[in-house]
Amino acid sequence: MIKSNSSMRITQTAATVTALMGFEPPKGADVPNEIVMAAAQKAFGEEKVERALLYNPDAIAMWLYQKYTKLFTPIVTNTQMALPILSVMPSVTPVCFASMYSGLNPEDHGIQAYVKPVLSCETLFDAALKAGKKPIIISTEGDSISEIFKEREMDYIFCATPAECNQHALEILAKDEHDIVVVYNGNYDTQMHRTGTESVEAIEELKKNAADFEMLLHAAEQAWAGKRCMAAFLPDHGCHDIDGNLGSHGLEMPEDMDIVHFYKLWK
Ligand SMILES: [Zn+2]
């Protein structure tokens, strides 16, 4: 076991969303997060969430939140819950997002290395479709989220850059034709691999993730006015530095495994 004190799990994300929205979780999924469910009970009683914005920044570690807390101001001030979450091993992108959206551990969803096969297990997206909901994934071409959830009867927008993803996300939110909007931004991860986790360049990308989450959240609030809604800031794993001023992740260490998830519920 790693030296982590996190008792909440990334595998709880899928069932948290399905419980909030009132449909069956993917088969075998971990249980919903009790704190988010308690908040929903206070906010909505038995009524269910009608719209969800799920923002997936890549590699935003818990330690970044602890050390650069002020940079998270746009996230903290616009959400209601900041929850310590334990990721899964190996702590690399396709493994972690597969666990987040299937609710399964890696040995059960089958992605146990940096490979991007299309998942055959049930995911949040399959569960949503079964329940008559309309999900969309907006992500950069070729990245994990763009690959492993393919071949569902749902909408996808694959873009060249995170900025382009966010532009499309604004348009999709404004149209309000989807119940679940997933947006992936891998810019911090890309940069920290090249120049280190705390390089000026990487920190700029972290600031972008915070600002862009706030921008998308405000767009959702405007487009979804009057509806019961949720938004969440959901990274996949953390990161640490290695020799040569480079960043990395994938190990069973707190820097890679401990992440923070933010949630907001509103009407
Ligand atoms: Zn990642």
How much is the pLDDT for 1? 55
**Strands of 180-185's sheet, edge to edge?**
8-9, 81-86, 258-266, 229-233, 51-57, 180-185, 135-140, 155-159
Q: How far is the CA of 20 from the centre of ligand 1 (A)?
A: 25
Q: What is the Cα–Cα distance from 32 to 20, expressed in whole angstroms?
A: 9
Fold of 8-266: Alkaline Phosphatase, subunit A (3.40.720)
Q: What is the Cα–Cα distance from 182 to 53, expressed in whole angstroms?
A: 6
How much is the pLDDT for 204? 98
Q: How far is the CA of 146 from the centre of ligand 1 (A)?
A: 13
Contact 125, 149 (CB under 8 A): yes
Q: What is the Cα–Cα distance from 205 to 210, expressed in whole angstroms?
A: 9
Q: How far is the CA of 1 from the centre of ligand 1 (A)?
A: 21
Strand partners, 137: 156, 182
Q: Where are the domains of the chain?
A: 8-266
Q: How far is the CA of 142 from the centre of ligand 1 (A)?
A: 13
In this predicted model, what pLDDT tens digit does every residue of 151-200 receive, in sequence order?
A: 999 999 999 999 999 999 999 999 999 999 999 999 999 999 999 999 99
How much is the pLDDT for 195? 98
Mean pLDDT of 10-28: 98
Q: How far is the CA of 111 from the centre of ligand 1 (A)?
A: 14
Q: What is the Cα–Cα distance from 61 to 202, expressed in whole angstroms?
A: 13
Contact 137, 53 (CB under 8 A): no
Contact residues for 82 (Cβ-Cβ < 8 A; gap 6+): 65, 76, 260, 261, 262
Q: How far is the CA of 110 from the centre of ligand 1 (A)?
A: 17
What percent of the chain is modeled with pLDDT above 90?
Answer: 97
What residues are neighbours of ligand 1 (ion), with CB under 5 Å?
Answer: 58-59, 93, 236
Q: How far is the CA of 86 from the centre of ligand 1 (A)?
A: 14
Q: What is the Cα–Cα distance from 91 to 93, expressed in whole angstroms?
A: 7
- Tokens 């899928």 identify what position? 14
Q: What is the Cα–Cα distance from 17 to 234, expressed in whole angstroms?
A: 12
Q: For the CA atoms of 23, 29, 30, 35, what is the dihedral angle to 10 degrees?
A: -20
pLDDT higher than 90, residue 4: no
How much is the pLDDT for 5? 81
In this predicted model, what pLDDT tens digit does every residue of 59-115 receive, in sequence order?
A: 999 999 999 999 999 999 999 999 999 999 999 999 999 999 999 999 999 999 999
Mean pLDDT of 28-34: 98
How much is the pLDDT for 7? 92
pLDDT higher than 90, residue 3: no
Q: What is the distance of C-alpha 251 from the center of its chain? A: 20
In this predicted model, what pLDDT tens digit does every residue of 39-71 receive, in sequence order?
A: 999 999 999 999 999 999 999 999 999 999 999
pLDDT higher than 80, residue 131: yes
Q: How far is the CA of 164 from the centre of ligand 1 (A)?
A: 19
In this predicted model, what pLDDT tens digit does every residue of 203-236 receive, in sequence order?
A: 999 999 999 999 999 999 999 999 999 999 999 9
Contact 235, 58 (CB under 8 A): yes
Element (H, E) at 229: strand 229-233
Q: What is the Cα–Cα distance from 210 to 187, expressed in whole angstroms?
A: 12
Q: How far is the CA of 43 from the centre of ligand 1 (A)?
A: 32
